[in-house]
Structure 1
């Protein structure tokens, strides 16, 4: 941290005593939530695995330590120098061992089963009570948790307070609104995952959208989520004022993206009607809703102007937050305004504001990305094999340093992306048809019978479910969404079209081709669903 800024308490960065806590459960390969009840709610009478049977519990003991405690251990290592990308910024030479230093690690674990406490509040809908808009943020913290999670939880409470005031004034939402404060997020998304698993059938039937927040700081609005909601959240962002610049948070985000983008990306940002929102992987409480059940999801935070040097440590406290982050809480207010506006518009819209034009564009972009991933892999292996033939590695290795030349690899085969390409084209046609039909009907929606609106909204709610598959991803049956998932080896980071992408990355090319077919079918089903929604509008 000291290479970035002053360390706490003089500055925002981690000091030598700061320990970053975190979960080491293997959630990406298995599932988040209670490791003893995978796939089912961890109720009092749930059937549980033994600790030895639980696949997601780490098989080796782990203890987080500070860099102050790590420095003498690292300094005592000898052996070859660590590769440059393995070295940190401590004032020591980095060796990889083995030894000669020896460390005795003594750990004690508590395997007791403890309750977690989710706090759930509901405002029943007046006209469509069976359609739910769910809003959540976790309330547990590793230690003090001023930034993570309270800077997100406080705006949630302010939204709930404001809705309570509106209720007292006679307002009633069209749809049911559910507010949730999740427990046990830090140990492994426990409260939200177990709630999702326990109520899976109800949620599949009723949940329209889930909106998540977590920590919040200063800066630009980061928008992530289902791309069927991309146009909607862009429209919300255009109506929220940025506390520092007074321009809309959408405009500030647009200009910030231009400043950070490549020449090609700058051109797109300037020409595209909506800013692209990021795809979601995992790492917070939207995971069960999106990745497991296929509920359309948004995740938002203001960020970019705060150095996160105290993440998951005891120094994440009120002093740090009010000196080095959103010290006057104006971005907390902005988050409450942003998400509260989104919740209200979703709850009160006659037709859920799903739009498929941006979604279709994103799907086509993902297909092009995957084709590039395959081509890059082919080019990489072709070049490496040529260098092996030419003796490049033998000529450039330092004989005083033990090294092994990379093995020769077979060239990745051609993959047929036609199922995804054809489905992408069908999506474009269907999306344009739906947008046109909705626009033509916009002035007459209030005259539409309630049963017809309900049928249309049910169809829209199903649109995200259509992108899931009951069998789940290869070797990861809990993760059922075919477009979004955390990577097996990338932690929380998203892998878009994960079955295809990771098949290519892991050189499982036959599997990747099978996944292309499976994704293509899901996208064709999505196009058919969108067409049927458009037909409902056209025929009324």
Structure 2
């Protein structure tokens, strides 16, 4: 028998090995693992948010942490452009880093405004011989111990031009458009005089704008005790929350926001900056200066001609008059301000989403203050920091958001939303594509009476739902929603909910909504209840004064009960927006509000008809949008939510709704505001209105030959935008 062939044996062994290897490979790739991984991926894509997360929010809220942030940030003045504000940015950055958040400090170089050098801005009263009878105080009285009183900026109005003006005085009430109209009808001429206006009702910049348009050569602003104190209650700060006579409200007076030197573009090192002469056209042309009511007393009591109407009477103890200074006295304003470039610092952090990481819910609050800013904005900054800390903690414990969360601490808001505007302009492209919503905080605790919200209609439902999940801070047997509804002065006109105000433009949500079309909301606690009585005052009495200190916030919210509730509200609202499979944005509500506002124009039907305005087609577009929105939400009800592609398509549509009203050319008379519906009112920058561009045009005098042609054009743009949105919603 012949011996085995070695080569043949090697061949058989190798053949067997490769056959075995082929079998292993075939078996591996034919096993049902691929199907299992696909199923797991599908389950991940289709998972709902953790609806029990709210219980963790309640467990984790730490009022001690809130108090620490408030104390730390109110020790020294936090004016934008100062070394302390840079330190405050680093403080926020360090806290977020400690919580494991990926944070960065983003710097911009912007145009800020300050009193010039050692000059003291002042208002003086002279007799006929030129003898000085009175001069306004250079600074507010120090009423409590302060760590750095020398850092307190003197009262001034940012971006007011310098000037030395002298002349007669006229009292213009709140300085609203209707106030100037009333004076004109009464034969009171403002032209060539200095206007004295009390703070309240509308944005101070609008007061200056209206005074300038009526020919005034200067504006003096003061806080009347009728608006900032409680009649008969002498508990002035520091003995209470009311405004002392020396308290002065600071603030900017520009009606177009963002850095004035780079409008439309971010303030980067490569940005073009116009000349001072070019920029001067963007600022008021007349000086403006704020004083306290102790000083205003000397001016108002010197007016002797024309008793004011009853609704113009303030609370100083004499009868107010409109004009005519006693014994030919004159008033002089001596204002020296300067505009200078300074760096500002935003702090940005992010928690990345796991399913839709390219979709972002943004939450922000500004950090700068005119002085100590315990209420505005530190009450809100503390809430932002606690909200960030809670989400960072539950993230470390294993929770993963569906969408990303971006946390923002803004600088230089008080100068006209500079920090947020520059960042939005710098990140415009990705925000247009990826931002879902913006949640603003700012003044989180402005009072102790009731919850309040300024929100775009798309987010009404989400706000209501969040408040329904929370207990009332004063009665745990009812919800925050029920407490809010019982105290609301008026109801939502579409449903029996508490009234939500139009978003307006008084804070950092403005560039998000009015520039890019990102649905925005801004909620806080407002109003005062003292000794069981509701006090009807404007905002909070110590607004933008030296006295907005730590002690004030502790008077309003002693145990941070309200701060805790507002923190929980923001956490729950963000949870909805971040984790809901279908975004909680209601187009039906938006369509209903648009239709309601369009019907309010019915009183103008005759004028529209006489001037060939297509009002009926405009109404028809709003009705079609209501139908399209109803059918669209019916589709959502019947949507296969286990199909991630269909879910994404619906969410993309919801996310794009607000963008339908962004027009590149902006409003007809205010091109820097690009949202047809959610830009601020031209009569009051703080407030909103149904159709802001149309309101601007309707305010033009009938003698203006361009008035009605522009109205016809703008109605066409509105109608087209509404029809376009309806068509967008109707498409499969």
Q: Same fold (TM over 0.5)?
A: yes
CA distance in 2 between partners of 1:91 and 1:501 (Å): 38
The structure-2 alpha-carbon separation of the partners of 1:105 and 1:428, relative to structure 1 and needing over 3 Å to count, comes to closer
* 1:90-489 pair list within 5 angstroms: 90-99=316-325, 100-215=328-443, 216=445, 217-246=447-476, 247-257=478-488, 260-261=489-490, 272=495, 274-305=497-528, 308-323=540-555, 325-372=556-603, 374=604, 415-441=613-639, 444-445=640-641, 447-449=642-644, 451-489=645-683
Q: Deviations over 1:363-415 (max 9, x none)?
A: 1111112223x26x97xxxxxxxxxxxxxxxxxxxxxxxxxxxxxxx997574
Q: Matched residue of 1:116: which SS?
A: strand
Gaps of 5+ in 2: 1-224, 530-536
**Structure 1 contact 189–285 (Cα < 8 Å) conserved:** yes
Q: Matched residue of 2:525: which SS?
A: strand
Mapped pair 1:63 → 2:257: no
Q: Provide runs of 4+ in structure 1 moved above 6 Å.
A: none
**Structure 2 contact 372–549 (Cα < 8 Å) conserved:** yes
Alignment partner of 2:300 out of 74, 80, 91: 74
CA distance in 2 between partners of 1:527 and 1:235 (Å): 26
Q: Matched residue of 1:471: which SS?
A: coil
The structure-2 alpha-carbon separation of the partners of 1:104 and 1:504, relative to structure 1 and needing over 3 Å to count, comes to closer
CA distance in 2 between partners of 1:332 and 1:169 (Å): 24
CA distance in 1 between partners of 2:450 and 2:244 (Å): 27
**Structure 1 contact 153–214 (Cα < 8 Å) conserved:** yes
Alpha-carbon distance, 1:124 to partner: 1.2
CA distance in 2 between partners of 1:3 and 1:340 (Å): 35
CA distance in 2 between partners of 1:419 and 1:229 (Å): 28
Aligned residues: 483
Alpha-carbon distance, 1:65 to partner: 1.0
CA distance in 2 between partners of 1:144 and 1:198 (Å): 29
Alpha-carbon distance, 1:278 to partner: 2.0
CA distance in 2 between partners of 1:89 and 1:56 (Å): 35
Alpha-carbon distance, 1:67 to partner: 1.0
Mapped pair 1:37 → 2:37: no
Bigger Cα displacement from structure 2, 217-226 vs 503-512: 503-512
**Partner in structure 2 of residue 48 of structure 1:** 273
Q: Deviations over 1:402-446 (max 9, x none)?
A: xxxxxxxx99757432232111211221111122111122xx41x
CA distance in 1 between partners of 2:338 and 2:715 (Å): 44
* 1:488-527 pair list within 5 angstroms: 488-506=682-700, 507=702, 508-527=707-726
CA distance in 2 between partners of 1:255 and 1:326 (Å): 21
The structure-2 alpha-carbon separation of the partners of 1:102 and 1:275, relative to structure 1 and needing over 3 Å to count, comes to closer
- TM-score norm. by structure 2 comes to 0.63
Question: Over aligned residue pairs, what C-alpha RMSD do you find?
Answer: 2.3
CA distance in 2 between partners of 1:292 and 1:300 (Å): 20
CA distance in 2 between partners of 1:145 and 1:253 (Å): 26
**Structure 1 contact 419–521 (Cα < 8 Å) conserved:** no
Greater radius of gyration (CA) = 2
**Structure 1 contact 134–210 (Cα < 8 Å) conserved:** yes
Alpha-carbon distance, 1:224 to partner: 2.0
The structure-2 alpha-carbon separation of the partners of 1:433 and 1:276, relative to structure 1 and needing over 3 Å to count, comes to farther
Q: Deviations over 1:7-29 (max 9, x none)?
A: 2223321111000111111x2xx
The structure-2 alpha-carbon separation of the partners of 1:342 and 1:107, relative to structure 1 and needing over 3 Å to count, comes to same
Q: Deviations over 1:171-202 (max 9, x none)?
A: 11111110111111111111111111111112
CA distance in 2 between partners of 1:525 and 1:356 (Å): 14
Q: Deviations over 1:442-490 (max 9, x none)?
A: xx41x213x4433332222111100111111112111111112222222
**Structure 1 contact 289–297 (Cα < 8 Å) conserved:** yes
Bigger Cα displacement from structure 2, 65-74 vs 162-171: 65-74
The structure-2 alpha-carbon separation of the partners of 1:65 and 1:240, relative to structure 1 and needing over 3 Å to count, comes to same
CA distance in 2 between partners of 1:417 and 1:251 (Å): 39
CA distance in 1 between partners of 2:617 and 2:522 (Å): 30
CA distance in 2 between partners of 1:491 and 1:86 (Å): 22
Alpha-carbon distance, 1:273 to partner: 6.1
**Structure 2 contact 682–695 (Cα < 8 Å) conserved:** no
Q: Deviations over 1:58-82 (max 9, x none)?
A: 2222221111112112223444444
CA distance in 1 between partners of 2:588 and 2:521 (Å): 17
**Structure 1 contact 32–188 (Cα < 8 Å) conserved:** yes
CA distance in 2 between partners of 1:480 and 1:421 (Å): 22
Q: Deviations over 1:36-86 (max 9, x none)?
A: 111111112211122321233222222211111121122234444445444
CA distance in 1 between partners of 2:468 and 2:309 (Å): 46
Bigger Cα displacement from structure 2, 71-80 vs 494-503: 71-80
**Partner in structure 1 of residue 207 of structure 2:** none
Q: Matched residue of 1:110: which SS?
A: strand
The structure-2 alpha-carbon separation of the partners of 1:419 and 1:499, relative to structure 1 and needing over 3 Å to count, comes to farther
Alpha-carbon distance, 1:151 to partner: 1.3
Q: Matched residue of 2:667: which SS?
A: coil
CA distance in 1 between partners of 2:509 and 2:278 (Å): 26
**Partner in structure 1 of residue 247 of structure 2:** 18
CA distance in 1 between partners of 2:334 and 2:698 (Å): 41
